[in-house]
Each structure stands twice: as C-alpha cells, then as structure tokens.
Amino acid sequence: MAQSMKQKKQEKKQSLVDASYDLFLSKGFNKTSIDEIVKKANVAKGTFYLYFKDKSDVMEDIMLRLSCRVLCDAYSSMKKSSTGDFVEDIIAIVDYIIEYFKKNKLVLKLVKKDFSWPLICEKIFDSEYGEVNKILEECFQNPYLAEHSNDDIFKLLFVIIELCGSICYTSIINEQPDTIDNMKPFLYRIIRKILEV
C-alpha cells in the first residue's frame, strides 16, 4: 500500500520528465514553457515545483540520464563485437554515438544547443553514476595505455568525445563542412592518429 503511494509519486515525476523531454526535443528548451509541460504531463502546475526547482532542473535530470544511457549503450555494444584492439574499440564507441545522433537529430540539437557536453561529462564523472565510472576504470587498466597516467587517459578520452560531439553537431545539423558520412573516415583517421603510440 505504502509502496503504491511512492510508486504513484514517482509516476508523476516521471510523466513530468517525459513530457519535458518530448517538448524540449520538439520545441527546444527555451521555447518550452512550464505551462505546456504540466499540461502535457497531465499534472497540476504546483506538482512541477514539487519535484523540480525550475526548467533547468528537469533539463539536467534529462541530460544526465540521456548521456549516461548513450555512453553505456555504446560501451556494451562495442563489448559485444570487440576484437580486443583498443583503438578500434574506441572507434566503435564513437561510431555508435554518431549513429545514435544520426537517428536522433533532435536529441543532438538539444544536447548541443541549450546545454553542452562538457557540463554533462563533469556531472557524470563526479557523481554516483557508477556505470560510466566503470567504463573509465576499464580504460585506465587497458594494457594499450599502460604508459599513460590516468590523468592523461582521461584527457584523451575527453578530447575524443568533445571532438566527436562537435563534429556530430556541425555535420549532422548544419552539414558543415560535409555530411557526417563523409566526415566519418576523416574523423576516424584523426582518432587513430591521436591514439597511436
């Protein structure tokens, strides 16, 4: 009984997150009003403020879940087909992310335009988001990077993800300087060079 209460409570919060996500995607963060969110979530206005401080608060929530999920999915997808070559593993991860954004242009637009990757990264690594940390741990222990300090490995991965995000945004959204499919071989060549010992 008590559980059903808490469950119901979580349902409300979830429906607010879902509604926000849909609206942020379709209208953009700035152009979405809290009015619209609560209407779509079928919840009273006050309920919004019961769970979130303001619009940015939901956004943060969404970004963390999303980034975490994409990264983890990319990692486990790579694991399945891994050849054991570290460089190719990294490229597999990047490729997964690129393909995800290709299929979800609106997500990409949202992630890049109204908030930025780095902010999210910061949160991911700091917080209790354990899964992502586990990925990182595995990288630290990879024999291929044995000579590098953990700090350097982190920087390396950070730069690659940044680069990947930047290029995704410009080429998928603006097709600048070319389509993402034309950029891919180019980008992977660069990543290989970066990771080359």
Give the interface with a second copy as residue ranges (CB under 8 A). Answer: 30, 112-113, 116, 118-119, 121-122, 151-152, 154-155, 158-159, 162-163, 165-167, 169-170, 173-174, 176-178, 183, 186-187, 190, 193-194, 196
Judged by the rule CB under 7 A, the positions of this chain that interact with DNA are 1-2, 5, 8-9, 11-12, 31, 33-35, 43-50, 54-55
**Contact residues for 27 (Cβ-Cβ < 8 A; gap 6+):** 36
- Residues 70, 97 contacting (CB under 8 angstroms): yes
Smallest gap, in angstroms, from Cβ of residue 166 to a second copy? Answer: 4
Between 41 and 168, whose beta carbon lies closer to DNA?
A: 41
Tokens of 169: 């945004």
- Which partner from the list DNA, a second copy, none does 118 bind, CB cut-off 5 to 8 Å by kind? a second copy
CB of 47 to DNA, least distance (A): 4
Structure token digits, residue 125:
């690594």
Of residues 18 and 156, the one with the C-beta less far from a second copy: 156
